[in-house]
Amino acid sequence: MRPPTHILVVNGIKVRRPVFVVGAPHSGADLLGRALKRSPGFHLTMGRAAVAHVVYAFARRPSIMRRKGGGAVRVLRDALAEAWQIVPGACADCPAPCREAGAVTGGGPCAAPGGVVRFGDANPDLLYSAPVLLQAFPDARFVQLIRDGRDVAADMLADRACLSWFRTSMLSDDTEFPNPFLGVNSAEHRDKWARMDTAGKCALRWRSAVRLSAALRQDLPRDQLLTVRYEDMAADPAATMAAVSAFLETRVSTVALYGAVAPKVGRWRTRLRPDDAALVEKIAAGELARLGYR
């Protein structure tokens, strides 16, 4: 018999149909998260430490999510409940991008309990915890971002936080394989990954993320998953937000997107060295073609 659904209550508000924005790094989750965060009734977090620690533990050790007893579900649900607390000073624990997205000044908080009807999180790496999220919140809504892997690689190469995941120590003796987070399929590829140029490692992360996104599309019904292309968001922010609003059955702000996306489309042509661009295209050729980027 299926166990009864757990109802999470945060600040006296029942968490119903929470929204999770996921995707590969630098695919636009932060921009869509900003739009949701500035929309009436939403309390959305981005990069809270309590959530990030759990997400990265699951990403590096996927077997944790498969253990019996429901421990992974409770841990992730509790981390999100902590992140969503609306109390004085809570925003001090948020990273700067989250505070800026919520226009927080001083001690915050960024939302008032009386006005919140939906919760969410825009840590794109929640993609790797999607099966656990669905167990924790069976009515969750997912918005996944897809972007040209070459632009993703160019932005990752300029991001110290992303590059920190590519240290050789990340593939330690207790690392589990396959490792979707790094895009390494087996222990036999460990040395090859260590010798690979950083652009190649970026391509592997992107390739693995879009494969997980494709699997998620197969597993979830249409009313629980919406796929948004970064390039469509750049070309027509209003149409994209109209689609997101219809999917979430609530009005989502468009203002936060204007001027923030369009200049970043196709920048890989000037930002990636020819050798790096060729390596990214070689590694991610299948996915780039399948998604219409080649």
pLDDT digits (tens, 9 = 90+) for 84-114: 988 777 777 777 777 777 666 666 677 777 7
Nearby residues of 86 by Cβ (< 8 Å), 6 or more positions away? 10, 11, 43, 109, 111, 112, 113, 116
End-to-end CA distance of the chain: 48
pLDDT of residue 143: 97
Spatial distance between the Cα atoms of 88 and 110, rounded to a whole number of angstroms: 10
Sheet holding 141-146, edge to edge: 42-45, 118-121, 19-23, 141-146, 225-229
Q: Can you give the pLDDT at residue 3?
A: 45
List, for residues 203-228, the tens digit of each pLDDT value: 999 999 999 999 999 999 999 999 99
**Lowest mean pLDDT: which of 9-18, 55-64, 254-263?**
254-263
**Which whole number is the average pLDDT over 48-52?**
91
Average pLDDT over residues 128-147: 95
Helices 274-283 + 149-157 axis angle, to 10: 130
pLDDT band at 172 (very low <50, low <70, confident <90, very high): confident
pLDDT at 246: 96
What distances in angstroms separate CA 120 from CA 43, 126, 133, 200, one per listed residue?
6, 11, 12, 32
pLDDT-derived band of residue 174, with 50, 70 and 90 as boundaries?
A: confident
Helices (H), the chain: 29-37, 49-60, 71-83, 96-101, 130-136, 149-157, 160-163, 190-195, 198-219, 230-235, 237-248, 268-271, 274-283, 285-290
Range name among 36-40, 138-142, 199-203, 225-229 with the lowest pLDDT average: 36-40
Domains of the chain by start residue, with CATH: 9-290 (3.40.50.300)
Reading the block at residue 128, the tokens are 């790797």
101 near 32, Cβ under 8 Å? no
d(CA 187, CA 164): 20
The pLDDT tens digits of the residues spanning 246-268 come to 999 998 888 777 666 666 899 99
CA distances from 139 to 9, 133, 144, 175, 191 (A): 15, 10, 16, 32, 42
Write out the two tokens for 101.
Answer: 């997205």
